[in-house]
Structure 1
Amino acid sequence: MAGKTTLTGDFKKLWLALSVSLMGSEITVLALPLIAALTLEVSAFEMGLLAAVGQLPFLLCSLPAGVLIDRLPRRPVLITTDIGSALLLLTVPLSIPFGGPVYLQLCAVAFGIGTFSVISEVAHYAYVPTLVGREHLTASNSRLQVSHSASAAAGPGLGGILVQLLSAPLTFLIDAVSFLTSAVLLRSIRSPEPPPDTANPSPSLRHSLLIGLRTLFSHRLLRPIILEGATAVFFESGLLAIYVLYATRELGLSPLTIGLVFAAGGLGAIPGALLARWAGNRYGIGPAIIGGWFLAGLAGLLVPLAGGPLPLIIATLATGKALGALTDTVANIHQWSLRQAVTPDHLAGRVTASQRFIVYGTGAIGALTAGALGSTIGLRPTLLLCALGCLAAPLIALLSPLRHLHKQPTTAPTTMDTAVDTVTNTTP
């Protein structure tokens, strides 16, 4: 079928739509905390709270979103969330004539964008397997990850320039336009989606939610990924929540310099996306996932250790970003593909939503915790604790059957039991 080859015209449209929206989003990822740190001069706790509010939708909305996505066509959902995100972002520059933005408005925008992002990501991960087929998942996800990496490379640097030249609030216009462009591209996709599975509808919302959670925790390979991911994201979100505050107030970096440091992460992620297949073939899928996570945690230690002359500080932070992004990208491509490959289509939304709820939901708690710690023991000690937590997290996966997985399954399971059998047959 036309929709089952990796580089069909419709896949290219999806790829381009994601690339455009990601570029704008990476600009906003830097602009939002810069407004808080430089314009509003918030405290470490307020910075952590802002980051936590942005991730709170993962706790509140992920599971209901999964049920919704499994009952609806995915493409219209993606279009709707793009339009909603654009309208919400426009409120920031529109508030300038009225003395805004203010801190509470930033929290509201962060929460709203987070909510749309949760729904969009669940729909996106559920949509890709139906568009390209399971046999092309690793190749397709590698291409999509290149977009993540390229936007992460160019977006923050561009964001730093725009913040320096135009002010942070006006940079939100760029992100709004990117979401509207993405919606137009998604609207042009013509491949029909398989109809949602309505033959055996779940008797209740609660039962539907439990199916997704039980699917994750009953699978011997997905369970360690979820547990490791939740632990790592708790500490990583804490580190990122106060990163900009640390960079501006303790290290004295400008918005442009911070943007360039973040861009180094994107540059490092690009070869990670290109090397993912080689790493999986050379070392096995499980070892590539675990090793990538461990090296990314090791790179995180460079953040609190940065010091000395300004060029050395910049080089240390940029190296940490680049190395962490490269190795984390290799791990994430394979763990995304594994989850997609072993999940039946009619459970794709709920399984992805459950993963988002557990893994990224802990990020809200981690960000708030880091903000509170940063206000009491200081920013650098808090960053060191977060980095050590990221480094220790892969031990969970190392002590699990995941370390023995060498190949990705390629057959489409119809039930989770079938999926488990498929994976078992690929493991020595």
Structure 2
Amino acid sequence: MTARAVTGRDFRLFWFGETTSLLGSGIAVVALPLVAVVALHADTFVVGLLTSVAWLPWLILGLPAGAWVDRLPRRPVMLVCDAVSFVAYVSVPVAAWAGALTIPHLLLAAFAGGCAKVFFTTAYRAYLPTLLTDKELLAGNARLQGSESTAEVIGPGLAGMLVQAFGAVAGLVADALSFVVSWICLRAIRTVEPPPAALRRRRLRTEVGDGLRFLFRDPILRTLAVFSAVSNLALTGLSSIEVVFLVRTVGAGEAIVGVVLTLCGLGGVLGVLVSHRIAHRFGTARAALLCQLGAAPFTLLFPLTGPGAGLAYFVIGGVGLGTGVVAASIITDTFRQRYCPPELIGRISASAAVISFGAIAVGGLLGGALGEVFGVRETLWMMSGLQVLSTAILLFGGMRKMRDFPESPRVAAAAVS
């Protein structure tokens, strides 16, 4: 069966399920550290460790996950992942209501949810071209990224209100239920997924190596992967301690933290709205470069944040950063989906994700450790400076010579030579 349009029933189901799941995740991003800070009185290092543990599975499972996803139908993989995520996150409020919640339990739930996310994200990126044609991928990615950005706007505010009204673990109940909605929507999709490519099965190590070789031999994919790693290290170092910073250093209450992070999320919505326009105006490669270059300096506003009106620094920084990063992400994700061979896309995506998301695990740990040793505000200065410096990777990686991303690896080699 051919791919369905962005207005078709199956894509709408996929979109709605993902939007609900992303909203739950947007709530959990704030609710999980608030549980640690408010209910369990965790220190800065533990809060950073919580972020690190959630992304650690990318370093452990990311590469084999790509090979496994290329061997299997993608939708059943995502259904199993939704079920595992539900069990992991619903266990936290159940333990809390039983009076048995501990820091190790919270860390274990974050790790289990992270393992499911590895497989879901890898399968999701490979599955989307089943529902959409090449020409519709940019619009489809924009809609999905729009949902993610909207979730980032609404989620933190909801988390703050839920925690304020019903207690610290209430946000995780909402997150767990969002995976149920995602599972139901995926189950209802009718489009028949083409079977995995009938390739001779080789050793897992060999198949993983195919994805890594393609990634590192390609000049554009390599540049994007290295930049993403350094950028994610910096941005996660910032985000892993932002709740601690706002609550303990700035003195904001839980509800105010939710409002501030909600306003920051508006940047992602703006990024979705402008991505298509700037890609056509400047070209896809040039637009992605300009977005990242413009976004990075906004991180320097975060450490300037103070109480009262001083919270405006955090909001402006979040809006500016989110606009550029989200717009660039939509453009580069669409490029990868069009550019990578279908039989390798799972392994290539997983290889890039291990580098990119693995850095998130390190960034969370680094943010917590530096915050404990040098202070939270000082760590924000370090991480924001690293984000600004990371843009040099894009500038010297060959993208500045291009207007548009190429359609094939041969064109890419010619463009950067």
How far is 1:196 from its partner? 0.3
1:350 matched to 2:347? The reply is yes
- Structure 2 residue aligned with 1:227: 226
What does the per-residue CA deviation read over 1:240-281, in whole Å, with 9 as the maximum and x for residues that have no partner?
A: 111111111100111111111111132221121121011111
How far is 1:311 from its partner? 3.0
CA distance in 2, matches of 1:281, 1:119: 33
Q: Is the 8 A contact 1:63 1:357 kept in 2?
A: yes
- Structure 1 residue aligned with 2:371: 374
1:284/1:114 CA distance change after superposition, 3 Å: same
Q: Is the 8 A contact 1:56 1:114 kept in 2?
A: yes
What does the per-residue CA deviation read over 1:147-167, in whole Å, with 9 as the maximum and x for residues that have no partner?
A: 011111111101110011011
How far is 1:191 from its partner? 0.7
Residue correspondence of structure 1 range 99-248 to structure 2 within 5 A: 99-201=99-201, 203-248=202-247
How far is 1:295 from its partner? 2.4
CA distance in 2, matches of 1:38, 1:96: 13
How far is 1:4 from its partner? 4.3
CA distance in 1, matches of 2:54, 2:170: 20
Letter in 2 for 1:124: Y
CA distance in 2, matches of 1:257, 1:199: 54
CA distance in 2, matches of 1:354, 1:168: 36
Letter in 1 for 2:11: F
Letter in 2 for 1:60: I
Residue correspondence of structure 1 range 25-424 to structure 2 within 5 A: 25-201=25-201, 203-307=202-306, 310-409=307-406, 419-423=408-412
Letter in 1 for 2:296: G
How far is 1:204 from its partner? 0.8
Letter in 1 for 2:68: L
1:176/1:295 CA distance change after superposition, 3 Å: same
State the percentage of identical aligned residues: 34
How far is 1:382 from its partner? 0.8
How far is 1:2 from its partner? 4.9
1:6 matched to 2:9? The reply is no
- Structure 2 residue aligned with 1:415: none
Q: Is the 8 A contact 2:212 2:348 kept in 1?
A: yes
CA distance in 2, matches of 1:147, 1:321: 18
CA distance in 1, matches of 2:296, 2:380: 12
CA distance in 1, matches of 2:113, 2:188: 24
Letter in 2 for 1:270: V
Structure 2: runs of 5 or more not aligned: none
CA distance in 2, matches of 1:388, 1:205: 39
The aligned length equals 417
Structure 1: runs of 5 or more not aligned: 411-418
Letter in 2 for 1:81: C
Q: Residue 345 of structure 1: SS of its match in structure 2?
A: coil
CA distance in 2, matches of 1:254, 1:214: 49
How far is 1:408 from its partner? 4.6
Q: Residue 190 of structure 2: SS of its match in structure 1?
A: coil
Q: Is the 8 A contact 1:303 1:383 kept in 2?
A: yes
CA distance in 1, matches of 2:12, 2:415: 31
Q: Is the 8 A contact 1:92 1:172 kept in 2?
A: yes
How far is 1:314 from its partner? 2.1
How far is 1:51 from its partner? 1.4
TM-score normalized by the length of structure 2: 0.96
Q: Residue 190 of structure 1: SS of its match in structure 2?
A: coil
Q: Is the 8 A contact 1:272 1:325 kept in 2?
A: yes
CA distance in 1, matches of 2:241, 2:150: 24
CA distance in 2, matches of 1:250, 1:152: 23
Letter in 2 for 1:351: I
What does the per-residue CA deviation read over 1:378-410, in whole Å, with 9 as the maximum and x for residues that have no partner?
A: 111111000000111111011122223323556
TM-score normalized by the length of structure 1: 0.94
How far is 1:328 from its partner? 0.7
